[in-house]
A and B are shown apart, each in its own frame.
Chain A
Amino acid sequence: MGLFQHKKPVEPKTPQEEATDAVVNYIDETFKDELRTFGRSYFEKIINDTGALFQKDLNTTIGQVNVQLQAHVTQQLDVAIAQVNVELKERVAKQLENQFAEYNREMKDAQDLALKSLTENSEQLQAEYNDLRTMLQKNVADQKVTLTNVFEENKVRIAQMKEAQDLALKSLNDSAEALKTQYAEINDTLKTNVANQEAVLVSAFENNMGKIIEHYLLGALGDQYDLKAQLPSIIHQMDENKQAIVDDMKL
């Protein structure tokens, strides 16, 4: 008897069961994780590839759609603009025609008014011209009469003035002669007076010459000599008058 006496005997398995057990033993959790990871990355790769393709297709499609849409919109806009142009031209032309018609009418009215005014001014000017011409003719006639009268009067006056001038000229000649004579007399008198004055002045000058020179010398020589310089002269003069001095001192 042994230790494994109570151990149940292993029942023999079928090949199917053995294959299932082998599979179960082979595909364990680690393998499953690896498979899961591989599958996830593969799936992501496929999704990314597919996304990129889809993105590319989508961009291409959007580009085409844009081109087509742009062309369509341009065509539509051209049509619309052409239509708007036509309508706008018509409307503007119509408005311009209306405006021109109104301007023409107003200009015509203004021209009529100006023409009327010019006509009236011309008539007024004509009338004034006629009045002035009549007045001028009258004035010329009056001036002619007046000038004739003045001329006659001046003729008489000129004759009188000429006569007066002759008289004045004669008087001036007489006065000039008188002045000439008087001038000669005054000249003689003046010469005589000047000679007399000169003689008086010279005489006065001569009479006062001594005092003048003395005054000059007194002013010029004052303080010029000190007593030492004068001493020889003083002693000489006292020597000359020595006797008189001595006699006076002895009295």
Chain B
Amino acid sequence: MSEPQVKTHENFILPINVVTKIDVSRLVSEVERVDNDMTAAAVRAKSGAQQPTQPTLSEQLSEFLNQNGLKLDAGLERSTIIKELRLLKDKAPVLHMTFAVTADTESLQKLTEWVRTTVHPQAVIAVGLQPALVAGVYLRTPNHVHDFSMRGALEGRHGLLVEELEALRGSK
């Protein structure tokens, strides 16, 4: 029998509702908070002052724990998770996506799904807003930019308009 694969930041599965790097930071903070609360509760339980209670978890953290088969009961495991999540936060690939309108959560989750399916399973998105783009997205990877906006589509096509106009005048 093979040993169960040890979960590290490299094989963490990020749930679809963890979209941005800020969401990952929020996961780290929440696990740290839970770890502190549970450690304190364990100490109090040992002194007989209070029975330990299950901490309240956010939907993002619950989903993350479920998809990765992790539990926060053991202090050592919590510490490992915290360490690995910090590494994930620092090393996760980031795609900067600038939109012409405010991005809604549902659309961001669909884009995240595409990115994690196509580009990298742990990639996160940094969202920006630029109304001058009119429509589309301005995508920036570590070394390149990809202008998929309407402004970008129009910028290189002035010649076409002039040609159409001249053709129209010539036809008259």
Residues of A within 8 A of B (CB): 206-207, 209-211, 213-214, 217-218, 221-228, 230-231, 233-235, 237-239, 241-242, 244-246, 248-249, 251
- Could you tell me if B136 and A218 are in contact, using CB atoms closer than 8 angstroms? no
Q: How far is the CB of A236 from chain B (nearest CB, A)?
A: 9
State the CA gap A28–B72 with chains docked (Å). 177
Report yes or no: B101 in contact with A227, Cβ–Cβ below 8 A: yes
The verdict on A231 contacting B144 (CB below 8 Å), with A210-B161, A225-B101 known, is no
* Nearest CB of chain A from residue B94's CB, rounded to whole Å: 9
Chain B residues 117-154 with CB under 8 Å of chain A are 118-120, 123, 131-132, 134-137, 139, 141-144, 146, 148, 150-151, 154
How many chain B residues touch the partner (CB < 8 A)?
41
A214 and B141 contacting across the interface, CB-CB below 8 Å = no
Does B59 touch A at the CB level, under 8 Å?
no
Q: Is the CB of B158 within 8 A of A235?
A: no
Give Cα A249 to B95, complex, Å. Answer: 9
Can you list 5 residue pairs at the A/B interface with Cβ under 8 Å?
A214-B151, A222-B100, A225-B101, A241-B148, A249-B123
Q: Is B57 an interface residue (CB 8 A)?
A: no
Contact A221 B135 (CB under 8 A): yes
Other than A227-B101, A245-B95, A248-B141, give 11 A-B pairs with Cβ distance below 8 A.
Answer: A209-B162, A213-B154, A214-B155, A221-B135, A222-B134, A225-B101, A228-B104, A234-B148, A237-B137, A241-B148, A248-B144
Cross-interface CB contact of A246 among B102, B119, B158, B166, cutoff 8 Å: B119
CB neighbours of B161 from chain A (8 A): 209-210, 213
| Contacts known (A206-B166, A249-B119); A227 close to B157, Cβ less than 8 A | no
Contacts of A248 in B (CB 8 A): 141-144
The docked-state distance in angstroms from the alpha carbon of A228 to that of B132 is: 18
Q: Is the CB of B157 within 8 A of A210?
A: yes
- The reply to whether A231 and B110 form a contact with Cβ atoms under 8 Å apart is yes
Q: In the docked arrangement, what's the CA distance between A237 and B149, Å?
A: 10
Interface residue B31 (Cβ < 8 Å from any Cβ of A) = no
Q: Contacts A222-B100, A227-B101 known; A206 to B165 CB distance under 8 Å?
A: yes
Which A residues are in CB contact (< 8 Å) with B155? 214
Total of A-B residue pairs, C-beta within 8 Å: 110
User: Binary interface profile of B, 105-118, with partner A (CB < 8 Å = 1, else 0)?
Assistant: 01100110010001
Does B48 make an interface contact (CB < 8 A)?
Answer: no
Q: Is the CB of B111 within 8 A of A231?
A: yes
With a CB–CB cut-off of 8 A, which chain A residues contact B101?
A: 223, 225-227, 230
Q: Contact: B158 with A210, CB < 8 Å? A: yes
In the complex, the answer to whether B146 meets A227 with C-beta atoms within 8 Å is no
Task: Tell me, in angstroms, the Cα distance from A218 to B136 when the chains sit together.
Answer: 12
Across the interface, do B162 and A230 meet the contact criterion of CB distance under 8 Å? Answer: no
Residues B162 and A206 in contact, CB atoms below 8 Å apart? yes
Q: Are B107 and A231 in contact (CB under 8 A)?
A: yes
Asked if B93 is an interface residue, CB under 8 A from chain A, the answer is yes
Q: Known contacts A211-B158, A238-B114; is A218 also within 8 Å of B132 by CB?
A: yes
Contact call A228/B165, Cβ cutoff below 8 A: no
Among residues of A, the one whose C-beta sits closest to the C-beta of B148 is A237
The answer to whether the Cβ of B99 comes within 8 Å of any Cβ in the partner chain is yes
By a CB distance below 8 angstroms, the chain B residues around A230 are 99-101, 135-137
Known: A209-B161, A248-B144. A217 touches B134 (CB 8 A): yes
Does B69 have its Cβ within 8 Å of any Cβ on chain A?
Answer: no
Residue among B93, B102, B114 with max Cβ neighbours from chain A (10 Å): B114
For residue B4, CB closer than 8 A to chain A, the reply is: no
In the bound complex, what is the Cα–Cα distance between A117 and B34 (angstroms)?
A: 146
